[in-house]
Amino acid sequence: MPAARLAAAAVARGLAAGRGRQALIVVVHHVVTDGIGGLAALAALADEWPGNDPDRPFPLPAPSPRELAFDATCGRLRALRRLPGDLRRAAAGLPVRLLDRRRGTAGPGSSP
């Protein structure tokens, strides 16, 4: 790899492992990533997960507007479901004196 290039990638096609098999060969200079970070990046590129179909189209087709709207709605509903717990955790982090003032009582160390 030339000194000016920190990363390079190539696609190998026609592998003996099977018809239509391909491989992505990635070469990254050590200054770009450390060992664990490099493994995490390569794991994100790997296509081995449960239910993976080697005959699926690549790249995947773009989602439809309806799919995008559904995904966005699901994300907002998940955020709403987390809201009570988030509010409890936020209130737990507030100083006691501030909470006592809102209740109309004097907190520890405050003058009446």
> For residue range 56-76, what is the model confidence (pLDDT) as tens digits?
776 778 899 999 999 999 999
**Is residue 99 domain-resident?**
yes
State the chain's maximal CA–CA distance in angstroms. Answer: 83
Structure tokens at 66: 């309806």
- Residue 95 lies in domain: 65-103
What's the confidence (pLDDT) of residue 70? Answer: 96
Structure tokens at 107: 């907190």
**Is residue 53 domain-resident?**
no
What's the confidence (pLDDT) of residue 43? Answer: 73
> For residue range 74-94, what is the model confidence (pLDDT) as tens digits?
999 999 999 998 888 888 877
Within this chain, do residues 40 and 70 fall inside the same structural domain, yes or no? Answer: no
What's the confidence (pLDDT) of residue 36? Answer: 76
Q: Give CB contacts under 8 A, 24+ apart, made by 22-31.
A: 27/1, 29/1, 29/5, 31/6
**Is residue 15 domain-resident?**
yes
* H or E element at residue 22: strand 22-28
Q: How far is CA 14 from CA 46, 47, 72, in A?
A: 18, 17, 39
**Is residue 2 domain-resident?**
no
pLDDT at 109 over 60: no
**Is residue 56 domain-resident?**
no
**Is residue 27 domain-resident?**
yes
Q: Which residues neighbour 96 within 8 Å (Cβ) at sequence distance 6 or greater?
A: 107, 108
Within this chain, do residues 41 and 71 fall inside the same structural domain, yes or no? Answer: no
Q: Fill in the DSSP letter of residue 58.
A: S
**Is residue 1 domain-resident?**
no
**Is residue 59 domain-resident?**
no
pTM of the full predicted structure?
A: 0.38
More confident residue, 112 or 97: 97
How far, in Å, CA of 66 to CA of 76, rounded?
A: 15
More confident residue, 8 or 69: 69
**Structural domains of the chain, count:** 2
